[in-house]
Structure 1
């Protein structure tokens, strides 16, 4: 008979999630593990001391609510996490729900006013279109007076894993008035090569009727398709500036900090 029997694996021990952990340590059951509602870290071992150790070492000093306040906070975070895991809510309905819960606690006598606010999907869409048109119109008027401008580009994936390219612009006029705003947000439905990104940036700049010769710097997240020495997005932008000095190239300091924190384990 073997003296060294096969060790049991964690998933063979039949451990189950204890509902009291949600109130005590801000975790919920998710995919056969515990999901922290504060930092969204998964705790695979369903044991009290593991759950407690994570909470006390990571969050106790910063997140130690008690009583009904703590219970309400957990309920709100569970609602948000559930929405993130499943079908995303309609923005207006979700905001209205949060508003109503807040008003019930702060000024319940005003509850009827908030309940009558229309935030249906069609209403929210219409208001977004109106706001977008107004912002674009205002930005276009200001940018005609730019003496110089710079761009900041960032590409990231949304919850549906669709790449989104954000284009921020900062410009200065002859009176040294600085304007900074979101120039465009482009959904990259297919590939995210440097050529695809350049076409979106080119269209955004041309839509605002800006002169490429006034572009003085471009900041990116340092990805290969952004900074490739021969075919990267930055090179394509520099080639577009045929008149004047090529723009300066910067690596976003926030992205550098994130990269450093992954190596240095900065909490």
Structure 2
């Protein structure tokens, strides 16, 4: 516990903001939106933490020929970086815009699916949830301003099949975020356990612990089905296939 706090303070003391010099040195840029991560102008990949070591490692590992073609502090490098920045700006379309009604509806559907999962509720209850929300809003509505909100709620897709698709998307995003964090970590450790799901299929629970540049994190990395007897060879094979 004390070690975690000490390391967190040590990292926080370092320069956590993006240094503009890193753009020319490592071809990275920091987007302006909230909670953004540094983006490589060459391959468009991101790194989890805005730390010079992470950017330098990515650049030297994946783009080692860049400094050969475009030596540091040369005019050729400056022109190339300017071209990459311009291309990134056009591709990303850095224009702030408000969410459309359809995007808000989709976001609401994802939030509802996420809430049902957190409370371990069946997706078949989602339509009941929607009916409850509409009923409450109609009772609270005292003027016409609520009519648009009620109409938007009615448009939110909350069928069982829709929620199943939503949760699949959420699960993929959560797992990708964990995997990206592990890839950026210098070291990580694994812990495994066995559990049984509601269909009586044994599941290998894989937990990972790593340092993300700010603090130690412990996350569920994967659930791997165990169809056969649980032996050391089978467990090792499952982990080997996953990685």
Asked if TM exceeds 0.5, the reply is: no
More helix by share: 2
More strand by share: 1
Could you state the TM-score of these two structures normalised by the residue count of structure 2? Answer: 0.39
Q: Which has the higher contact order (CA 8 A, sep 6+)?
A: 2
Could you state the TM-score of these two structures normalised by the residue count of structure 1? Answer: 0.36
Bigger Rg, which one: 1
